[in-house]
Structure 1
């Protein structure tokens, strides 16, 4: 497949803080990526650099094989829906959509009109007076109707209620199926977007923790529940992500798949296997990485 984005050893510093720390990534054409992580993890900084709205401190960035900065050939094919997008005080939604129709060569006004109706967007109200959810709807409509070859959604659902978020997810999948392109969806609502994304990128403290196909990620961990002694014995020698207990019952989540024979043995010993959701796995991986970082910091402080 064609590589759309190539990032090598990307670092971004703000005074004494590293927002991105030696990030390397390769994103392919025609896929929906989930860029997942906690608030402040580095998601927005990464997208801002990829869309030439910010500058790296060091490292290499290629989009469609070229440097994106001041490069019309690249930026004409990119749509970045920012969580904090600003508009003129006297602008109406129609002004934002008209500007988008002039900029994006694949703009679909029919789709935009459908989405305006579905989101019940008040077109006779200035953008400045829109609610947080209505402002998010403006961005979502532009991102979908642009049909840009490369589209970034930075936490696009903020302020949207459950119905509106589902409309966004449904229309995203429908339009992507008819008009394949590369979509990067930044989110911390992991369970909600888990069924949308084909590939997962997890970033924490400016570092990439995980970069893989969604199906492969789901098979990376398993939870075993039952008698604490039996559970601990089974988990001995495995990489434990999380353990919790209540009385004599324990639950342990470990990295690594479980074979059919192992499953049979677990069941025969009276233990239960439980699936690990994408959100659970990412939360546990993040917690484990942060614990390791704290240990290293303490050791370095002692020195």
Structure 2
């Protein structure tokens, strides 16, 4: 289990993470979304002991990560900005990983290299961006770690390769009980693979939830009445978003669906439709209730004034 408590990380001119708290269990795929600059990379680098926390703590199975080689050997980290030894080939990188990770599975690594058609002796500097990402990912998976951290995992991969990498990660989690944390600025990349999703905004964790709960606890209501009405008509119902055009309103509602629909039907509307929400809509409307606008798949975000 990963326990992050009041984690704060500062640099000279800004605070990258501020009072972040979360618990990530074993056998879990934990997705973290946020635009560039939200603090995702700093979060992962602090979790794997590249950065030392300024405040708070990071524990993996009850042990601090910073300056702890024993714990670090159980972690594999694929950063957003990949690094390989200068001039190194896959063969040279594999030898280095064998020396660092006692459980490195060379047989699995070379099998994956064959599947991906990655040349063993060619310099990684001559690989394309996507091939370099593939190489870093399978090196991490071949370490057979208990904890896998991926920063912008799918960047540079084509759709077929993205699905292949997703399957590899899922297999490790299901078969070995490993835990994976995957960051991305694209919610669509994560919603079909993660058990939990979190939203990091300006260094703070502003939303975290089980993905099934996110999908089932909120829904869209389209409703209309003959008589004039306002939002106050729906007092007692948790509404995170409300728009009214003429006599028809669209609402994003949270709670027990059957109970809410029964209550609305008792108001005798002339129109009542219940519609499912995409995960992207759920995150967008939740952010609105927190006072933010957030472009899930874009590069910008701003706080409501």
Superposition TM-score, scaled by structure 1 size: 0.84
Kept after mapping to 2: 8 A contact 1:224/1:231: no
* Offset of residue 246 of structure 1: 6.8
- Alignment CA distance shift 1:136-1:230 (3 Å): farther
Give the structure 1 partner of residue 256 of structure 2: 258
* Offset of residue 36 of structure 1: 2.2
Q: State how 1:120-269 maps to structure 2 within 5 Å.
A: 120-227=117-224, 232=231, 238-243=237-242, 249-254=248-253, 256-264=254-262, 266=264, 269=269
In the aligned structure 2, how far is the partner of 1:257 from the partner of 1:289? 18
Kept after mapping to 1: 8 A contact 2:79/2:150: yes
> Which structure has the highest helix share of the two?
1
Give the structure 2 partner of residue 65 of structure 1: 62
In the aligned structure 2, how far is the partner of 1:137 from the partner of 1:171? 11
In the aligned structure 2, how far is the partner of 1:240 from the partner of 1:193? 26
Name which of 26, 31, 34 aligns with 1:37. 34
Contiguous gaps of at least 5 residues in structure 1: 299-303
Kept after mapping to 2: 8 A contact 1:6/1:27: yes
- Alignment CA distance shift 1:55-1:34 (3 Å): same
In the aligned structure 1, how far is the partner of 2:209 from the partner of 2:161? 29
Deviates more, 1:52-61 or 1:276-285: 276-285
What is the total number of aligned residue pairs between the two structures? 292
Kept after mapping to 2: 8 A contact 1:5/1:26: yes
* Offset of residue 81 of structure 1: 1.0
What's the CA shift string for 1:122-148, capped at 9, x where partnerless? 334311121111111012112222210
* Offset of residue 249 of structure 1: 5.0
Give the structure 1 partner of residue 276 of structure 2: 275
* Offset of residue 250 of structure 1: 4.4
2:84 alignment partner, SS class: coil
- Alignment CA distance shift 1:231-1:88 (3 Å): farther
Are 2:117 and 1:91 equivalent residues in the alignment?
A: no
Give the structure 2 partner of residue 301 of structure 1: none
2:292 alignment partner, SS class: helix
* Offset of residue 288 of structure 1: 4.4
- Alignment CA distance shift 1:167-1:234 (3 Å): farther
In the aligned structure 2, how far is the partner of 1:137 from the partner of 1:156? 9
* Offset of residue 206 of structure 1: 1.0
Kept after mapping to 1: 8 A contact 2:85/2:93: no
In the aligned structure 2, how far is the partner of 1:46 from the partner of 1:133? 24
Deviates more, 1:114-123 or 1:35-44: 114-123
Superposition TM-score, scaled by structure 2 size: 0.84
Deviates more, 1:102-111 or 1:257-266: 257-266
In the aligned structure 1, how far is the partner of 2:121 from the partner of 2:72? 31
Kept after mapping to 1: 8 A contact 2:82/2:133: no
* Offset of residue 27 of structure 1: 2.0
Structure 1 vs Structure 2 CA RMSD: 2.7
Are 2:287 and 1:286 equivalent residues in the alignment?
A: yes
In the aligned structure 1, how far is the partner of 2:96 from the partner of 2:275? 50
Contiguous gaps of at least 5 residues in structure 2: 294-301
2:22 alignment partner, SS class: strand
* Offset of residue 90 of structure 1: 0.8
- Alignment CA distance shift 1:91-1:275 (3 Å): same
In the aligned structure 2, how far is the partner of 1:126 from the partner of 1:287? 48
